[in-house]
Structure 1
């Protein structure tokens, strides 16, 4: 689970650096020769700024005599950093919050070692030990590269025709859409159900995934989780359940998911699916999350679906009388 993976496990440790009195031309040469997209500016092994390829494409493209301009005059500062012991989920949240693609990693000076101290974040306090970019994070959180953060649409609650074969009393479904018959950007579908021991055991039997982490309490107690947890793919299945209840016949084309935290057996899990892009020809991109009882996000990602028209209601009537 991503919250158990520290930044130090995936960061690039061979950081390309320069002193503040180096020139912008020096920075450009370092990027070219090392095939990197940034140069971290350091003083006494501590990051004080950063210059990226984006700077050359924007603010530096019309500057003359780059060999005569010191990096200190153009670098981005104060530099945003993160502690080496912070989780990669913290890193994703930090990059999203500030809209950046490069995050220098420092050896944390705060007592918790999580890089969350304000001084470290804002002033680059701590020795530089690595760098993390959206490239490294995309291997673990692939949807990060096109995350848009949801839409501003607030559609009313709708009753939609759901062609599910059956429902249970402890399942809930809620749909907010532009109307009840079509899918539109801004529509949100929510499906919730408790995940029981029986669910986990049945899933293990059906799929063959009998990993003791999910089924053996004594075994799981000795792992990093301390107790049995729900299969990640089982939690992911709640997203499929929500999408199955969209207006129309939903057909999966792709899905990317990142497992951020463990889901405890016995929790009521809630999948939320928000339509964020109309890709044309009845195809849509949907941002997906699953939350636990405590409203913590345990899974997030996105899916691309094709929404066909439903078979006529007469087909359902014939099936009911067969």
Structure 2
């Protein structure tokens, strides 16, 4: 369906622009006053470049004085644009392949739109005249995320990810917003009565990534308007994704945990954004290093969203784990 919807259906038509001879300070002021994240640099209505918040955060902040720097010297150019007849899928593919988040929309039929500018839009002679067409709007990953969240999800740059830290020998890394607690008489071995708890927020990114990796793109999890018409009234976390928190808790039992079986019953929906908690209690020693575990996942209010039981095999950790150092930062 998305390949039949043109970008003009969702684009922002009231584009904020500035001429190439405007200063970086003027562009930054426009962003602040107009509440936008980019300024399109246009000459005679033709987009020739763009300056974004990211540019100020990464490049322009290295300069001491922005007052005399013209946009023609710092704008991103040549500019990637998309024609007004292109579809949402075309826009997503272009944003992904170009690794950008702002995509000016142009038309060849002479259709124009009103633009907001902090200076007169004239030809200052800098650069060459853009022949792609008239600027009619702009589409960004924000607008697209409302319509095709499963398409616009992109792997987060490692520099923007929440910090990882290595604090255990049996997991590759941990994150600051993950919590784990293990209660047992001997934390170096598993015994009946021991309880492991693991919790983390299940975010929009988690749901989108799960849908993309597994192929479970049920609109109940991805489309807010669609989900609002269901019995749940809102988007919810995939049940199997919530179930995965049990695997995370069991992975942190003493030793090397190997899943043998899992039975789960889904009791209640889990809203996206909730901090979910998996609780695993060792209830039976089956012999030969096998244990039966009672499993429960709770939402942020403590409501049981699923329960069941699992059987795991707990092996000794590989010898190499004993040689690894304790806490080392992973960026």
TM-score (norm 2): 0.47
Which one has the largest radius of gyration?
2
User: What is the TM-score of this pair, normalised by structure 1?
Assistant: 0.48
